[in-house]
Homo-oligomer: A and B are copies of this chain.
Amino acid sequence: MGLAERILQGDIRAAARLMRDVDDGFASASEELKKLYPHTGKAYLVGITGPPGAGKSTLVDQITAAYRKLGKRVGIVAVDPTSPFTGGAILGDRIRMNRHADDEGVFIRSLATRGCLGGISRSTGDVVNVMDAMGMDVIIIETVGVGQDEIDIVRMAHTTTVVMVPGLGDDIQAIKAGILEIADVFVVNKADRDGADRTVRELSAMLEMGERRNGDWLPKVMRTEASRGVGIEELVAEYENHRNYLFSSGAIERFTNEKNSAILSEMLKERLFRKVYDRILADGTYGEIVSGMATRSVDPYSAVDSIIAGHLFSIPEVSE
């Protein structure tokens, strides 16, 4: 029996194996993913992002426990694009301490950036598809940090949570402004700390002024103390509210199309590049161009024009 068939029967080892094959770039992995794809699209995806120190891991742990109490199976994808050099080892250590490690209803996978040829959002999508196909009801995508990569990743989720904490200082304003529009739910964690009221007030004020990306959904600002489990049930209930909104308003259709378009574009970009790159690396063209750039005898703009002319079918151009 192939990996895909075993995964569809809920075989956790087969799922872990396929995820490794995906990481290692095995051609066979792509064939298995093709077989799984028709069985995906059932899981509900929750995204969680926020600055380092906001307590996201603890929050994910508590949300997982709450969903487990409701009888849901939970997948967790922890993405760490900020550690290209440590390979996400720090995140890995944190994950291993997770109290759900022995629960068969919980499947945890951490992902780190894999350099310029990798594409972390592509990998995240593949992992989500595997978890979805194996029957996880809820998949939580947690990221470290709040850069563009993280935003691309959490936007894959049906419901995006932005976690803040009181008292991170004035510069947090810049971060807030950047991520305001992506949040469906705001969480002020460590809500027992000084300044929590102020943070909640400021966020609420900003939200009322801001433009909505998701039609007329107005994000709420929830308070949690993840370390003591306070506010978690309310948060999970709010996820349910947002899910109901998405489906009853019809917003889910636009969301799905935008998401699938982003996935397709990313996949096409990487695979096209990889094919052409492998060819011109093998025949020496790539090395010649790079050497020519060092002496400025070759300019990369013209070189890329020639590569494209030499590898793409020439068809009449659409007017540019």
Q: A147-B149, A308-B272 are in contact. Are A27 and B83 (CB under 8 A)?
A: no
Per the bound structure, the CA–CA distance linking A150 and B147 in Å amounts to 9
Q: How far is the CA of A150 from the CA of B52 in the complex (A)?
A: 16
The segment from A175-183, A217-225, A227-235 found at the interface with B is A175-183
Please give the number of chain A residues whose Cβ is less than 8 angstroms from any Cβ of chain B in the complex. 90
Q: What's the nearest-Cβ distance from chain B to residue A5, in Å?
A: 16
For residue A85, which residues in chain B have a CB less than 8 angstroms away from its CB? 177-182
Once A282-B318, A320-B27 are accepted as A-B contacts, the answer to whether A151 and B84 lie under 8 Å apart by CB is yes
Minimum CB–CB distance from A308 to chain B (whole Å) comes to 6
Query: Are the CB atoms of B86 and A300 closer together than 8 Å?
Result: no
CB distance A145 to B144 under 8 Å?
Answer: no
Do residues B37 and A299 form an inter-chain contact, with CB atoms below 8 A? yes
Count the copies.
Answer: 2
Q: A146-183 CB contact bits vs B (8 Å, 1 = yes)? A: 11111110000000000000000111101101111110
Tell me the bound Cα distance from A181 to B85 in angstroms. Answer: 7
| Most chain B CB atoms below 10 A, which of A144, A264, A286, A296 | A264
Taking a contact as CB atoms under 8 Å apart, the answer to whether A83 and B177 are in contact is yes
Q: List 26 A-B contacts (CB under 8 A).
A: A33-B299, A37-B300, A37-B301, A39-B296, A52-B172, A82-B175, A83-B177, A85-B181, A86-B177, A90-B177, A116-B262, A116-B265, A116-B266, A260-B294, A263-B293, A264-B286, A264-B293, A264-B303, A268-B277, A269-B270, A271-B308, A272-B308, A275-B308, A275-B312, A279-B315, A310-B313
